[in-house]
Structure 1
Amino acid sequence: MSLSLIGIILVQVYWFDKSFENNEEQFKFHVKQVLGNVANKLQKYEAYTFYEKYNHVKDSIGKAPEKSDFLEFGYFQRDSRTNETIVYSNSIISEDYGISPSFFDKKLDSLKGIKNFSANRKTEVYSDGVDNSSIKQNSSPDVKIEKTGSLDLLNNYQFEMFFRDIAAMRPIQERISNEMLQKMLSEELKEYGVKTPFEFNVYSNGLATKVKSENFKYDKASTYSIPIFIDNDGNNKYQLLITFPQKKKFLFSELIAICVLSIIFTLIIIIAYSSALSQLIKQRQISEIKTDFINNMTHEFKTPIATINLALDAIKNPKVIEDKEKVHRYLQMIRDENKRMHAQVENVLRISKLEKKELDISKDSNDIHGIIEDAIEHVNLIIEDREGKITTHFDATRTTVLLNDVHFTNVIVNILDNAIKYSPLAPIIDVYTENVKEFVIIKIKDQGAGMSKVAQKRIFEKFYREHTGDLHNVKGHGLGLAYVKRILDDHNCQIFVESEKGKGSTFIIKVPLIN
């Protein structure tokens, strides 16, 4: 179970790590797409701006262009079956409006002017069989088709070279503004679902320019770049850099929902596993305690049974049976041992009834000092036999409480009995009472063996006894204090224990007063 739980956690961590990596790759792909689109838009926008300026200047000069043949070529084909000859010719003419680059930038006088290109295409069909030499003399073909039009490819290419040369001479802040770049990046990022703050900067030959956002800071892990404004020679002087300060937060936010669910379910498994493990350990402890209880009960019953058997065997002896004094002593011994076994059985039955809530506990108004003195009377013979002493310190002035005198007397007797049993030497016990607010506090202090911190937490559990190795010098079966706790709970009382190994124990009972 432990290995499986560790495996599940490791799989969850591995899955999260891989998901984060996949999100990062997808994020990188989207940002690269955005940068590519923005770079294309910047190039097109600049070309469009120059094109608009050029058209405006061309329209404003109001003169006919100078035309000159730039290129002329032809095609000749003869069909022997139909005796038809087809002649195709094409002349490319350049139109120069005389527009100098100085119209766009005074610093660019050295550049050549821009031209338009057009084509005159002519197709002629001759029905009679003629050759190439006679075609030049024949001025009236049977079919003649002429077409004229602009050569967009040449125009566009020549214009693109022209505007790139001009643009390359201008500073970057005149080619693009912060506002326009901010707007382009925002629109593209929004379209690709990258909704996280960003900063940008345009670098020129590795150095930052003034075209940047206010809070741009270069961070290798979160910064992406692309060349912009590539010139006619393929050189890229400028680089557009974009960085995302909250990149990790954004990537993690996309996984947060499934991650939280995963953590919740894993915690449920851990809690369930811990509970199961705790129950297993508790059951094993209970099993050990019950084994100890059975051993102790067997030990405690074995002695009186053996004593009774010995007493009966002695009474059967003819010499003893005639001695009334000895018979009486042996009978008294049998009665005492029988009472002792009966008391043990009653203790077990009493706890069982308490658990099933079958024990009838009726409460009456009683004086707490009288109950304590009655309990001390029950153990006086044992104290005298052990040459011990019980001293009372009754400082409480209000002593009327609501309780069952029999069971509460048993509570005090059980605590006093424990104090006597766990005192290696002559038991010295002090009993204190005092009033605290609406309660009477009873303290029973001994100078016995004391107990460990672990034992203090568990002494009120049924069957529990602190382990003393293989020694059985203290008789008991772990039911006395369990009975005490159940009775006090039923009386709405509280019990605490203060103890230190080798320095004795103090049991404190807090009993509510009758107003």
Structure 2
Amino acid sequence: MAIVALGGLLTVQLLWLNKAFKSEEKEFNLSVQVALSNAVQQLLGKAQGAAPSKPIRQIASSSFLAEVNAPVRAQELDTLLKYEFARRHITIPYEYGILKAEDDTLVFGNYVPATIKEKKLHPDQAVLTPNVPAGHYNFVVVFPSKTTYIFSEMQLWVFSTVALLVVVVFFGYTLYSILQEKRLTELKADFINNMTHELQTPITNIAIASEILKNADTPLPLAKTKRYHDIIFQENERLKEQVERVLQIAELEKKKMALTKTKTNVHQLLEESLRRLSLRLQKRAGQVTCHLQATQAVIQADNLHLTNALFNLLDNAEKYSPQVPEIKISTRNYHQGILISIADKGSGIRQEVQSRIFDTFYRVPTGNIHNVRGFGLGLSYVKTVIQAHQGTIQIKSQENQGSCFELYLPFSA
């Protein structure tokens, strides 16, 4: 309702502004035509010529042609124009030219700056300007700043319109902020639901395995004991990983991520991230192809954050590959830095949502099917880390055809 009301109010205001402008323009044109008509009559009176039925014609928005078809002296015309315009408070600069009546050839022209409203010239006050040869002439007057002058005469209208536009702009900004807050609230609600589920699962598994070991009446076989110990250990590691991801929110909320930069070998970080992922890849018979062609792989970077960022991308490549994971990693030197490419043949990302995948808490909607759990923090964290190193990240992806993330990191940021 507010949008409709403001839209209607702005429309009415613009219509009235347009109407007021046309009214002011009409009044200005009429004043100019009357002034020029008086000038023509005085010129014809001295030349004893007959005035045409329509001596003044408006040939353009700011141009007026006066048909005299009689001798015209430049001195006399200059003084008459100044006098007639001053009488009608037309105080803006103008240009006039004297034209041959038979072929409209310009024989004389002059520019007259803006005059003072209180200053009224008398026709007898001649201005020294060159005379033109004897003959029959017309003259044309042009007002270059006519539109600006009309708007200056409409100060109240212009001020009210600008004030209304400011109100509309701030209303639009407020509405945008409200919608953004609403969207962020919904995303945070989804994040809390996902976080509760993700944290509850390993806690429940640890509790069950611990209870079995605690309440066993007789010593369990070594194989079973080891199995329950492994469950506790694996679920504890999983819980630590989930808590670490939640703690990444604090880093994302900071205006500036604090980095501890040291000489870091990007190839070693990639190998370390692959080692962390190796067990999961082995279970799914995943394939990883590496083309590490960068001859200079050492950059100034924060080892921990950059490792986490690379692992997040490799982790996504494995998780979002419904079939056997096929991951391709390549590096090369580019523009005083290193370009890292991580590609997969997984489910891919639709074109219309690619611009939002780096937003905090955002997860690509998949309807009611959630095969892969997550908090929507991974890619947002990755982008924050890369930008903190003054690098860039881009995605190339098609649905059901995989994704390719390209990271550029300068040698020294």
Report the RMSD for the aligned CA atoms in angstroms: 4.0
On the 8 A contact 1:20/1:252 being kept in 2, the answer is no
Q: Does 1:379 align with 2:288?
A: no
For the 8 Å contact 1:178–1:213, the answer to whether it is kept is: no
Which residue in the other structure is 1:286 paired with? Answer: 184
Task: Name the SS for the 2:72 alignment partner.
Answer: helix
Q: CA deviation at 1:34?
A: 4.8
Residue 59 of structure 1: aligned partner: none
Structure 1 SS opposite 2:228: helix
Q: CA deviation at 1:384?
A: 0.7
Check if 1:458 corresponds to 2:356. Answer: yes
In structure 2, do the counterparts of structure 1 residues 244 and 261 end up closer, same or farther at CA, with 3 Å as the change threshold?
farther
In structure 2, the residue matched to 1:193 is 89
Aligned: 1:475 with 2:373: yes
1:179 alignment partner in structure 2: 72
Residue aligning to 2:262: 364
Deviation, 1:198, is 8.1
- Tell me the CA shift for residue 244 of structure 1: 8.2
Kept in 2, the 8 Å contact 1:499–1:505? The answer is yes
Q: CA deviation at 1:417?
A: 0.3
Displacement of 1:402 in angstroms is 2.1
Amino acid at match of 1:375: S
Task: Check conservation: 1:320, 1:326, Cα contact below 8 A.
Answer: no
The residue type paired with residue 14 of structure 1 is: L
Preserved CA contact (<8 Å) 1:177 1:211: no
Counterpart amino acid of 1:13?
Answer: L
SS at match of 2:310: helix
For the residues of structure 1 that align with 2:146 and 2:373, how far apart are their CA atoms?
69
Offset at residue 320 of structure 1 (A): 6.9
Matches within 5 A, 1:102-251: 172=50, 177-179=70-72, 186=81, 187-194=83-90, 250=146
Cα offset, 1:434, TM superposition: 1.0
What 5-or-longer segments of structure 2 have no aligned partner? 52-67, 107-137
Residues 212, 405 of structure 1: alpha-carbon distance in 2 compared, 3 angstrom cutoff: closer
- Cα distance in 2 between the residues matched to 1:363 and 1:299: 36
Q: In the alignment, is the contact (CA less than 8 A) between 2:191 and 2:361 conserved in 1? A: yes
Q: SS where residue 288 of structure 2 aligns? A: strand
Question: Offset of 1:467 from its aligned partner?
Answer: 1.0
Larger mean Cα displacement after TM superposition, 362-371 or 282-291: 362-371
Residue 276 in structure 1 maps to residue 277 in structure 2: no
The 3-state SS of whatever aligns with 1:255 is helix
Q: Could you say which residue in structure 2 is the equivalent of 1:253?
A: 149
> Out of 356, 364, 387, which is 1:489 matched to?
387
Give the superposition deviation at 1:315: 3.5
- Answering whether residue 304 of structure 2 is matched by residue 304 of structure 1, we say no
Match of 1:418 in 2: 316
Q: Which residue of 2 aligns with 1:9?
A: 10
Give the 3 Å change call, closer, same or farther, for CA 39–447 of structure 1 in structure 2.
closer
1:394-448 CA-to-partner distances (Å, cap 9, x unmatched) read 1111222222333322222111000001111010001101112421211111111
Distance 2:147 2:329 in 1: 69
Higher RCO structure (Cα 8 Å, ≥6 apart): 2
Change (3 A) 1:342 1:189: same
1:451 is displaced (CA, Å) by 0.8
Q: Identify which range, 369-378 or 343-352, moves more after superposition.
A: 343-352
Q: Which amino acid aligns with 2:180?
A: K
Q: Secondary structure at the match of 1:172?
A: coil
Identity value in percent: 31
Residues 248 and 26 (structure 1), Cα distance of their counterparts in 2 relative to 1, 3 Å cut = farther
1:328 is matched with 226
